[in-house]
């Protein structure tokens, strides 16, 4: 059976869980990918590059794209909008690439509902809330008020881990990266329901 369509890998987890760090460890080892870059209205941080880390837009621009149905999913997080433009995702799937999302639990629900049969979802988390707090304070990119908001959000997100296919506890970077690499390779082998139905119909044909 020739499986020539793309697949989707969703990564979720609290801000500070280490999703981007783990992904950088394995990105060269999991084949041709398309990393879905979110569009956001939050301010650009030191070291970030527009079009590489995020597409940074105004709230007015974002709301216009919502009206034009340009997002696969979007959410308001900590007072800022984050969303996934649908066009590049469709093209990447057509090109048989593994499309990687770094989105929150709300986004995972939308993607799974719309593209579930080719979606593999992974929740990445620090071992404890205390460890998360230490990481957020250590990176020194947010005010204490923002950090407190992220911690409260994390408490809510943790309650929805059961919605994911896999859980990776990021306590050891090398181990966590190895697990994610295995999952990413398996995600490519996930076959859409329509291809399974086609195979079944052909298999039952008797000359």
> Could you report the per-residue pLDDT of 142-151, keeping only the tens digit for each?
889 999 999 9
Confidence of residue 198 (pLDDT cuts 50, 70, 90): confident
pLDDT of residue 192: 82
Average pLDDT estimate for 184-200: 87
Direct distance between the N- and C-terminal alpha carbons of the chain, in angstroms, rounded to an integer: 19
Is residue 81 within 8 A of residue 65, CB to CB? The reply is no
CATH of segment(s) 7-201: 3.40.50.300
> Could you report the per-residue pLDDT of 60-108, keeping only the tens digit for each?
999 999 999 989 888 888 899 998 888 888 889 989 999 999 888 988 9
Counting Cβ atoms within 10 Å, is residue 79 exposed (0-12), middle (13-18) or buried (19+)? exposed
């Amino acid at each position: 059976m020739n499986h020539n369509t793309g697949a989707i890998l969703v990564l979720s987890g609290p801000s500070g869980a280490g999703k981007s760090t783990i992904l950088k460890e394995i990105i060269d080892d999991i084949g041709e990918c398309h990393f879905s870059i979110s569009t956001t209205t939050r301010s650009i941080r030191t070291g970030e590059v527009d079009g590489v880390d995020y597409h940074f837009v105004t709230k007015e621009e974002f709301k216009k794209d919502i009206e034009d149905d340009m997002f696969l999913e979007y959410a308001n997080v900590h007072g800022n909008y984050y969303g996934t433009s649908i066009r590049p995702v469709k093209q990447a799937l057509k090109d048989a690439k593994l499309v990687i999302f770094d989105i929150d639990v709300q986004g995972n629900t939308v993607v799974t509902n719309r593209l579930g049969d080719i979606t593999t979802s992974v929740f990445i988390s620090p071992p404890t809330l205390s460890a998360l707090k230490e990481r957020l304070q250590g990176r020194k990119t947010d005010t204490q008020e923002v950090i407190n908001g992220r911690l409260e959000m994390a408490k809510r997100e943790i309650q929805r881990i059961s919605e994911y296919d896999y859980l990776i506890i990021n306590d050891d970077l090398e181990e966590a990266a190895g697990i994610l690499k295995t999952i990413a390779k398996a995600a490519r082998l996930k076959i859409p329901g329509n291809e399974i139905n086609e195979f079944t119909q052909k298999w039952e044909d008797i000359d």
